[in-house]
């Protein structure tokens, strides 16, 4: 049992759980204390000093985020002393900050700007320090732009990179006035172990870390009468976009999004969910092939567990951190890249459009997708498979620029071809979704029966625990799959790269008995991706997750292998799963990378 203690905040008495911080207690009492370095996803740093409050009997102010409540504590969150100090701190941060707000990508979505506005910092009494420092902007990465002149050193990115992702691409370097957030030897972001996951962007309170945006390029393509601009939208975008356009968190806006994209002028509005379904067919077949080779043919060269390959940040992570395990990866491209390769081949042929004139755009909840589209091997269509990748946030910007009142839009359906999808494709957007979709198909393929779960909801792989395990026993398989009779298929699901590390260490050490593992780089899966609306928090991701599963539940088709367009593409174009054409367009290779 937790004991309760009594505290007084601004004269109000309240009872709080022992161990709660002053910040938590104040929030419970409906009192807002400003914060900058604090983030619900991260450990307490207590370094920005914006949340200082006065505690009776103490000479100095206390950081509300880092100070636990004590019995009979009397706290003032708005005394003269507090206000003056807080204002000073904000002024100091601004003096060190490149406060050229109108030229900033984060203008209007910046926590420092909000604070400056709240405290009406109208003058610049202190010396401007930012221009005295020779900051360079790191814009070598196709995904992330790092501008130190806008950094307030809250270390949220550092903690994100370490605690959520276990990557540690960003750390603190130097001390005193030279202290900054840096990569290994201050190399460019694209030269280090950074996975481009973009979680640092999601957690940055200012414009120091932002995505490289391709908004103007896409506008130009749309305006070019000689171009046919196709757009694909990832599953998680439809549960995040509404948020960025003033709607409730977790709003499902698939229909409005399609309408908006059409009004923006895209030639054809298609769905990444289609290639998500296709991924399931290819990857599911790959899994069953590997199982056959291992269990039936006793082939020891085949690597198990098979690991999913949809998350490009995860791919770059394993290339850096576990190059010896690259053979465990599914060779399937991510749905985005499958789509890109098909858009300039299958789609072009069917629609009789010169692939040279096709501009392929994707809307992703992800910044690593920008890097992925930029990988030199992603040219299997004979062209660059995906030309531009926009995040959910960039799409929201375009919709606003176009003067579209998003909330009032009518619903619309995706175009054909490559617009049909199933609930299995939709749940790719949540952690555990690929696993669930794969199991729905693979189980049925092997046994001829639906997965033995109520309403196809494979609940053991759902949820928010960092690592989840599940197993399905295969009984009475079809004759062709007799070798799987009685086999307990063991699966693991991990999200957040720090959890991926735990799973991969087990694989590396040979202590895991998994057959299939799904890994998503971002917390919550793609719905918590680095390209999703800011802010993020466990509660926000939970709501998006509920929306994803609601979307799945509402789909008439729930299993990838029932997607009529998928069946059609094999019939008309690809031939068979893992066939030569599939192999050429839908599969890829990985390269070991150095660990800087």
Partner 1 sequence: MVASSYQLKRADFIFKNDNDWERILDKTLKRPPQELINELMSSELKGRGGAGFPTGLKWKLTAEDPSDEKFVICNADEGEPGTFKDREILSKVPYKVLMAMAVCGYVIGSSKGYIYLRGEYKFLVPELNKAIQEFEYYCKEVGHDFSIQIFLGSGAYICGEETALFESMEGKRGEPRNKPPYPTSNGYLGKATVVNNVETLAHTFTIFKYGAKKFYDLGVQYSRGSKLFSVSGDTPKPGIYELELGMSLQDFVHEFGDGDTKAVQVGGASGFLVPRKRFDKTTIGYRGKLTGISLPTGGSMMLYNSSRSMYNVLDNYLEFFREESCGQCTPCRVGCQQLHSGIKAVKRGEKPAQYLDKLLKLTETMQLTAKCGLGQSVANSFSSIVENFREEMIY
Residues that bind partner 1 (CB under 8 A): 44-50, 52, 60-61, 63, 66-68, 81, 84-85, 88-89, 92-93, 95-96, 125-127, 129, 132, 152-153, 155, 171-172, 174-179
Q: For residues 317 and 73, what is the distance between their CA atoms, to the nearest angstrom? A: 47
Residue 518 near residue 545 (C-beta atoms within 8 A) = no
Least Å from the CB of residue 594 to partner 1: 23
- Please say which residue, 103 or 175, places its beta carbon nearer to partner 1: 175
Element (H, E) at 443: helix 433-447
Rg (C-alpha) for the chain, rounded Å, is: 25
Least Å from the CB of residue 277 to partner 1: 47
- Do strands 180-182 and 171-173 pair parallel, antiparallel, or not at all (unpaired)? antiparallel
- Please say which residue, 302 or 498, places its beta carbon nearer to partner 1: 498
Q: Is 501 a catalytic residue?
A: no
> Looking at 141, 267, 309, 330, which residue is catalytic?
330
> Looking at 243, 283, 319, 436, which residue is catalytic?
283
Least Å from the CB of residue 83 to partner 1: 11
Q: Is 200 a catalytic residue?
A: no
- The two tokens of residue 10 are 């601004």
Q: For residues 544 and 521, what is the distance between their CA atoms, to the nearest angstrom? A: 17
Q: Is 69 a catalytic residue?
A: no
Least Å from the CB of residue 59 to partner 1: 8
> Looking at 15, 17, 324, 377, which residue is catalytic?
377
Q: For residues 394 and 531, what is the distance between their CA atoms, to the nearest angstrom? A: 8
Q: For residues 376 and 222, what is the distance between their CA atoms, to the nearest angstrom? A: 25
- Please say which residue, 26 or 51, places its beta carbon nearer to partner 1: 51
- Please say which residue, 179 or 567, places its beta carbon nearer to partner 1: 179
Quick check: helix, strand or coil at residue 254? helix
Q: Is 283 a catalytic residue?
A: yes
Give the closest residue to 64 by CA, choosing from 49, 74, 79.
49
Give the closest residue to 303 by CA, choosing from 315, 291, 311, 314.
291
Q: Is 421 a catalytic residue?
A: no
Q: Is 526 a catalytic residue?
A: yes
Least Å from the CB of residue 45 to partner 1: 8
> Looking at 310, 332, 366, 491, which residue is catalytic?
310
Least Å from the CB of residue 148 to partner 1: 13
Least Å from the CB of residue 63 to partner 1: 7
Element (H, E) at 471: strand 467-473
Burial degree of 117 (CB within 10 A; 0-12, 13-18, 19+): exposed
- Please say which residue, 11 or 176, places its beta carbon nearer to partner 1: 176
Q: For residues 512 and 16, what is the distance between their CA atoms, to the nearest angstrom? A: 43
> Looking at 146, 369, 370, 559, which residue is catalytic?
369
- The two tokens of residue 364 are 């992703």
Least Å from the CB of residue 47 to partner 1: 4
Least Å from the CB of residue 100 to partner 1: 18
> Looking at 111, 243, 372, 551, which residue is catalytic?
372
Residue 560 near residue 425 (C-beta atoms within 8 A) = yes
Under 8 Å CB-to-CB from 330, ≥6 apart: which residues? 283, 286, 287, 306, 307, 308, 309
- Please say which residue, 50 or 145, places its beta carbon nearer to partner 1: 50
Q: For residues 528 and 530, what is the distance between their CA atoms, to the nearest angstrom? A: 7
Q: Is 475 a catalytic residue?
A: no
What's the residue count for the chain?
Answer: 596
Distances (CA, A) of 395 to 98, 208, 213, 215, 400: 26, 21, 10, 8, 9
Q: Is 334 a catalytic residue?
A: no
Residue 188 near residue 359 (C-beta atoms within 8 A) = no
- Please say which residue, 84 or 459, places its beta carbon nearer to partner 1: 84
> Looking at 110, 157, 491, 526, which residue is catalytic?
526
- Please say which residue, 67 or 499, places its beta carbon nearer to partner 1: 67
- Please say which residue, 120 or 589, places its beta carbon nearer to partner 1: 120
Q: Which parts of 292-427 fold into alpha helices (H)?
A: 312-321, 335-342, 348-351, 368-373, 392-401, 423-426
Active-site positions? 283, 286, 310, 330, 369, 372, 377, 526
């Amino acid at each position: 049992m937790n004991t309760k203690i009594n505290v007084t905040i601004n004269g109000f008495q309240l009872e709080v759980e022992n161990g709660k911080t002053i910040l938590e207690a104040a929030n419970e009492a409906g009192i807002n204390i400003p914060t900058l370095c604090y983030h619900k996803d991260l450990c307490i740093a207590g370094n920005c000093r914006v949340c200082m409050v006065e505690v009776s009997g103490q000479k100095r102010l206390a950081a509300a985020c880092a100070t636990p409540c004590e019995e009979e504590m009397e706290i003032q969150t708005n005394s003269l002393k507090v206000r003056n100090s807080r204002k000073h701190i904000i002024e100091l941060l601004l003096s060190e900050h490149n406060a050229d707000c109108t030229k900033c990508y984060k203008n209007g979505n910046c926590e420092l700007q909000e604070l400056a506005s709240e405290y009406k910092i109208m003058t610049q009494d202190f010396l401007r320090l930012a221009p005295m420092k020779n900051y360079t902007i790191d814009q070598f990465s196709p995904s992330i732009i790092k501008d130190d002149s806008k950094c307030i050193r809250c270390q949220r990115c550092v903690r994100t990179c370490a605690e959520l992702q276990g990557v540690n691409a960003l750390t603190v370097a130097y001390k005193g006035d030279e202290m900054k957030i840096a990569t290994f030897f201050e190399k460019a972001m694209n030269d280090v172990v950074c996975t481009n996951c973009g979680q640092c962007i999601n957690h940055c309170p200012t414009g120091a870390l932002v995505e490289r945006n391709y908004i103007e390029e896409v506008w130009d393509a749309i305006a070019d009468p000689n171009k046919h601009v196709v757009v694909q939208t990832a599953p998680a975008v439809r549960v995040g976009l509404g948020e960025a356009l003033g709607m409730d968190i977790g709003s499902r806006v698939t229909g409005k999004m399609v309408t908006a994209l059409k009004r923006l002028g895209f030639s054809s509005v298609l769905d990444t969910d289609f290639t998500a379904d296709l991924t399931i067919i290819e990857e599911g077949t790959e899994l069953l092939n590997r199982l056959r080779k291992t269990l039936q043919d006793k082939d020891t060269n085949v690597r198990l567990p098979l690991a999913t390959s949809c998350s490009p940040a995860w791919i770059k992570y394993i290339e850096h951190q576990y190059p010896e395990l690259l053979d465990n990866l599914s060779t399937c491209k991510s749905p985005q890249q499958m789509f890109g390769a098909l858009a300039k081949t299958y789609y072009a042929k069917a629609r009789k459009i010169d692939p040279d004139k096709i501009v392929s755009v994707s809307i992703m909840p992800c910044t690593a997708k920008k890097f992925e589209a930029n990988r030199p091997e992603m040219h299997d269509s004979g062209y660059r498979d995906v030309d531009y990748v926009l995040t959910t946030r960039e799409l929201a910007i375009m919709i606003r620029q176009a003067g579209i009142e998003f909330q009032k839009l009518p619903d619309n359906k995706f175009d054909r071809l490559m617009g049909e999808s199933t609930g299995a494709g939709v749940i790719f957007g949540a952690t555990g979704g690929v696993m669930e979709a794969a199991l729905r198909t693979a189980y049925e393929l092997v046994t001829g029966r639906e997965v033995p779960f109520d309403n196809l909801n494979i609940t053991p792989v759902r949820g928010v625990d960092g690592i989840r395990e599940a197993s399905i026993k295969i009984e009475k398989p079809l004759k062709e799959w007799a070798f799987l009779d009685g086999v307990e298929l063991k699966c693991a699901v991990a999200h957040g790269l720090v959890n991926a590390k735990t799973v991969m260490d087990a694989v590396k050490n040979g202590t895991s008995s998994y057959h299939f593992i799904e890994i998503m780089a971002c917390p919550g899966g793609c719905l918590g991706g680095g390209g999703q609306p800011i802010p993020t928090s466990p509660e926000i991701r939970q709501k998006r997750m509920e929306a994803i599963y609601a979307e799945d539940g509402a789909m008439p088709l729930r299993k990838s292998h029932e997607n009529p367009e998928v069946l059609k593409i094999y019939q008309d174009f690809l031939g068979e799963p893992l066939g030569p054409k599939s192999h050429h367009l839908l599969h890829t290779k990985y390269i070991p990378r150095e660990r800087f």
